[in-house]
């Protein structure tokens, strides 16, 4: 059995991107994360120790962002997913969506982003 827990709208100011200005000034990123695990034991026993809490995933996203400068958001999303799977053995599958609403594109747009899904082998 697999259940889904999620976080929506984690906002970060980070220095990821291809261009020098992105590295120097930084910009806003918005991250959404879903993770699948068997939540039945945690729910049945009302026991936090039997789940992967959202604050842990929130901290993981921040740690990945602060720990490395990524040139492309695909690599950023991949690193978040890999770290969640590495840290939390209960997680069976993870979906990471990275939004870059202020991407340096000459034109009017609402958002750009990437979505990846990774699971344990």
Active site residues: 100
Name residue 4's beta-bridge partners. Answer: 36
Yes or no: say if 38 and 3 are a contact pair by the CB < 8 Å rule.
Answer: yes
Of 120, 117, 113, 71, the closest CA to residue 96 belongs to 117
Would you say the C-alpha torsion 54, 100, 70, 65 has a positive or negative sign?
negative
User: What is the maximum span of the chain, computed from C-alpha positions, in angstroms?
Assistant: 53
d(CA 24, CA 15): 7
């Amino acid at each position: 059995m697999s259940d889904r827990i999620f976080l929506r709208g984690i906002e970060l100011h980070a220095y990821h991107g291809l261009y020098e200005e992105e590295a120097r000034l930084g910009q806003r990123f918005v991250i959404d994360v879903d993770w699948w695990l068997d939540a039945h034991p945690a729910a049945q026993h009302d026991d936090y120790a039997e789940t992967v809490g959202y604050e842990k995933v929130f901290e993981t996203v921040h740690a990945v962002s602060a720990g490395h400068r990524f040139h492309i958001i695909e690599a950023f999303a991949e690193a978040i997913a890999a770290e969640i799977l590495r840290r939390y053995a209960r997680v069976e599958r993870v979906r990471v969506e990275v939004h870059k609403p202020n991407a340096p594109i000459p034109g009017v747009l609402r958002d750009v982003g990437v979505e990846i899904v990774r699971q344990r082998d």
